């Protein structure tokens, strides 16, 4: 196994670990906000590692650029989705961890 | 076991799962869901058949047919959901033989 | 060995997710599982060497169908009935109960279906002489297209594709007629404005249009083509709709009808054109076909994109009541 192959394998494996962690967080965290946090952060980092591993295997620069573009687009889309979900969930009656609703961000 | 054999068996399972729920589920939106799963099962059968000879390229004619099928399936789903919405609130929401339990 | 294990686990996972999607108590969860099923199916298509289908399944099968079903699943639980508070999905708690008298009949039906399919599968042999692969690849040069699936879709089985574009058109017509919509704007105004979503649209929209054009142009050499390009275009329009962008209301009245019609009419013109010079339907002269291919593919893409987007728009809920109600169609009978 050559060095790029080894690096790709380990990057993919570590990325998989992050995905696993994000999913465990999604299943086990108590409320919507912490779940969003886990899924968005861990999964995107995992995807970045996977994409990095695949870029090492790319034949042409354009293929590597496309892979990078995938990661950037997923970052944008998942960040926006997390924000939209959070702003739907965050209502005047709701607060993370059951604290009072005084410290809400401006609507 | 070749890919053809494995995926055609899976397609039989998928089609049966879909058609069982299509018959049995009273809720109309769930029926649309089951219809989609059934069509996916048949598409899987077609694409598996396209791969029956592993040494050649996959047969492009079933692929074209499945592509057509996917587009037709989404049209059918959209129209079906539009019709389900227009029905009086009883039939779209409540199962046929069950009262509102909430 | 490893590829067999991969295929086996992929197939098993796909079946399991499909079962859970259909049998889950909560309809919303079922729809989410269906979207996951769609993405798993795209992976299966890749494993079976069907790149074009994988693209279409991910965009149309999982994406657009999932969006349609999500709308259908969430709307009902929000809709109040006779002034009562909104009720959750009234699915039976213990799963669907099948009366004993019917279960035998259902089992018979399903096992007959399984038996027929098994007969079909067992009767298929893989000898090259019995398939159409050789026929298609031998005549690929005639068609002017390198990618076999696109060649089959546009040239060899162009009649099927013509009818398919016709089906799309009919579906859009049915949706527009049942909602009495003259344009897409009443639906667009139903969503609220949001700066973050607007920013995302600003970035994604050019990327989507570029990707659609890329898939259209590359379709003759690699997986891609008119339908995939149309699906991405539909995604761009749906994104505009969901973001409540004002530009969507520009597609109205005659323009909407023209956009919906143009794909089907262009294809019909290209197909029927040879009949004017004495040839038969769809018998395109070989030397001109490469230019026509691009026109036909572009027509397919436009038709698919606008039609799928208006199908999505037609299935959305309208503002239920109150000051937000618009007067686009005064006799809206949506909320009983």
Question: Which residues of chain B lie closer than 8 angstroms to C131, CB-CB?
Answer: 52-53, 56, 59
Query: Is B39 an interface residue toward C (CB < 8 Å)?
Result: no
Q: How far is B72 from chain C (nearest CA, A)?
A: 7
The band of C187, judged by pLDDT with boundaries at 50, 70 and 90, is: low
CA distance A92 to C15: 42
> What angle do helix axes C27-47 and C65-78 make, rounded to 10 degrees?
170
List the one residue out of C310, C324, C7, C280 whose CA is nearest residue C182: C310
pLDDT at B98: 33
With beta carbons under 8 A apart, name residues in chain A contacting C200: 76-77, 80
Chain A residues within an 8 Å CB radius of C194: 84, 87
Chain A touching partners, 3 or more CB pairs below 8 A: C
Model pLDDT, residue C190: 54
Give residue C57's pLDDT: 94
CB proximity C204 to A under 8 Å: yes
Nearest residue to C41 (alpha-carbon basis) of C27, C28, C23, C60: C60
Beta-carbon separation of C152 and B86 below 8 A: no
Position C36 pLDDT exceeds 80: yes
Are A77 and C204 within 8 A, CB to CB?
yes
Q: What is the pLDDT of residues B28-83, one digit of tens each?
A: 899 999 999 999 999 999 999 998 888 878 888 999 999 999 999 999 999 888 88
CA–CA dist A50, A13 (Å, integer): 8
Question: How much is the pLDDT for B95?
Answer: 41
Within 13 Å and on the Cβ side, how many CA atoms surround C220?
18
What is the share, in percent, of chain C residues with pLDDT greater than 70? 76
CA distance B66 to chain C (A): 7
C183 forms beta bridges with C252
| Burial (Cβ within 10 Å: 0-12, 13-18, ≥19) of residue A29 | middle
**Selected residue of C310, C315, C320 to mutate for chain B interface (largest B Cβ count, 10 A):** C315
Three-class SS of A60-78: CHHHHHHHHHHHHHHHHHH
Q: Does C160 touch chain B (CB under 8 A)?
A: yes
Ramachandran sector of residue C35 (left: φ over 0; alpha: ψ -120 to 50; beta: rest): alpha
- CB nearest to B72's CB, from C8, C149, C167: C167
Instruction: Give C92's pLDDT tier (boundaries 50, 70, 90).
Output: very low
pLDDT band at C256; cut points 50, 70, 90: confident
- Residue with the larger pLDDT of the pair C72 and C78: C72
Q: Return the partners of chain B (3 or more C-beta pairs < 8 Å).
A: C
pLDDT tens for chain A, 107 residues long, are: 788 899 999 999 999 999 999 999 999 999 888 899 999 999 999 999 999 999 999 989 999 999 999 999 999 999 999 998 888 877 645 555 544 444 444 33
- The reported pLDDT for the residue numbered B99 is 31
Contacts across the B-C interface (CB distance below 8 Å)? 250
Q: So what's the pLDDT on residue C142? A: 73
Assess whether pLDDT exceeds 60 at residue C240. yes
CA within 13 Å, CB half, C195: 1
Q: Would you say residue C196 has pLDDT above 80?
A: yes
Q: How many CB pairs under 8 A join A and C?
A: 16
pLDDT of C99 above 80 = no
Q: What's the gap between Cα B48 and its chain centre? A: 16
pLDDT at residue C331, as a whole number = 36
Give the separation between CA A9 and CA B15, rounded to whole angstroms.
37
ipTM, 2 decimals? 0.89
User: Chain C partners of A80 at a C-beta cutoff of 8 Å?
Assistant: 196-197, 199-200
Instruction: Assess C190–B contact: CB distance below 8 Å, yes or no.
Output: no
């Amino acid at each position: 196994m050559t060095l790029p192959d080894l690096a790709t394998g380990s990057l993919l494996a570590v990325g998989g670990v992050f995905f696993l962690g994000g999913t465990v967080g999604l299943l086990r965290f108590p409320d919507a906000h912490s779940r969003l946090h886990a899924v968005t952060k861990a999964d995107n980092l995992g995807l970045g590692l996977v994409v990095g591993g695949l870029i090492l295997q790319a034949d042409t620069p354009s293929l590597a650029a496309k892979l990078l573009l995938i990661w950037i687009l997923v970052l944008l889309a998942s960040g926006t989705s997390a924000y939209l979900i959070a702003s739907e969930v965050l209502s005047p009656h709701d607060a993370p961890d059951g604290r009072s609703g005084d410290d809400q961000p401006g609507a | 076991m070749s890919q053809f054999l494995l995926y055609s068996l899976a397609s039989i399972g998928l089609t049966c799962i879909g058609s069982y729920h299509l018959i049995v589920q009273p809720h109309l939106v769930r029926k649309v869901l089951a219809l989609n799963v059934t069509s996916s099962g048949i598409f899987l059968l077609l694409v598996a058949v396209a791969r029956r000879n592993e040494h050649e390229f996959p047969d492009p004619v079933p692929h074209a047919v499945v592509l057509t099928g996917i587009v037709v399936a989404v049209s059918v789903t959209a129209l079906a959901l539009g019709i389900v919405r227009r029905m009086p609130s009883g039939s779209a929401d409540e199962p046929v033989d069950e009262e509102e339990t909430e | 060995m490893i590829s067999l294990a991969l295929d086996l686990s992929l197939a098993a996972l796909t079946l399991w997710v499909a079962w859970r999607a259909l049998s889950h108590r909560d309809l919303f969860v079922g729809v989410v599982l269906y979207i996951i099923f769609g993405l798993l199916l795209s992976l299966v298509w890749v494993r079976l060497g069907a790149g074009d289908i994988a693209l279409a399944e991910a965009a149309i099968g999982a994406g657009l169908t999932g969006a349609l079903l999500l709308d259908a699943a969430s709307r009902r639980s929000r809709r109040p009935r006779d002034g009562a508070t909104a009720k959750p999905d009234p699915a039976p708690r213990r799963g669907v109960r099948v009366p004993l008298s019917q279960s035998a009949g259902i089992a018979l039906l399903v096992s007959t279906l399984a038996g027929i399919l098994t007969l079909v599968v067992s009767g298929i042999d893989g000898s090259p002489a019995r398939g159409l692969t050789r026929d298609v690849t031998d005549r690929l040069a005639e068609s002017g297209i390198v990618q076999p699936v696109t060649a089959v879709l546009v040239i060899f089985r162009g009649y099927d594709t013509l009818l398919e574009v016709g089906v799309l058109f009919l579906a859009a017509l049915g949706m527009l007629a049942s909602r009495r919509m003259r344009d897409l704007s009443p639906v667009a105004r139903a969503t609220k404005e949001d700066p973050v979503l607007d920013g995302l649209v600003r970035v994604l929209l050019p990327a989507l249009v570029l990707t659609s054009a890329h898939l259209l142009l590359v379709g003759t050499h690699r997986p891609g083509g008119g339908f995939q390009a149309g699906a991405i275009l539909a995604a761009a329009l749906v994104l505009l709709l969901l973001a409540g962008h004002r530009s969507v209301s520009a597609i109205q009245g005659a323009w909407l009808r023209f956009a919906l019609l143009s794909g089907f009419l262009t294809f019909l013109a290209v197909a029927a054109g040879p009949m004017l010079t004495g040839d038969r339907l769809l018998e395109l002269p070989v030397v001109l076909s490469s230019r026509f291919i691009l026109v036909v593919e572009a027509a397919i893409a436009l038709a698919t994109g606008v039609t799928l987007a208006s199908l999505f728009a037609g299935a959305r809920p309208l503002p239920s009541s109150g000051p937000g109600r618009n007067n686009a169609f005064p006799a809206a009978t949506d909320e009983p």
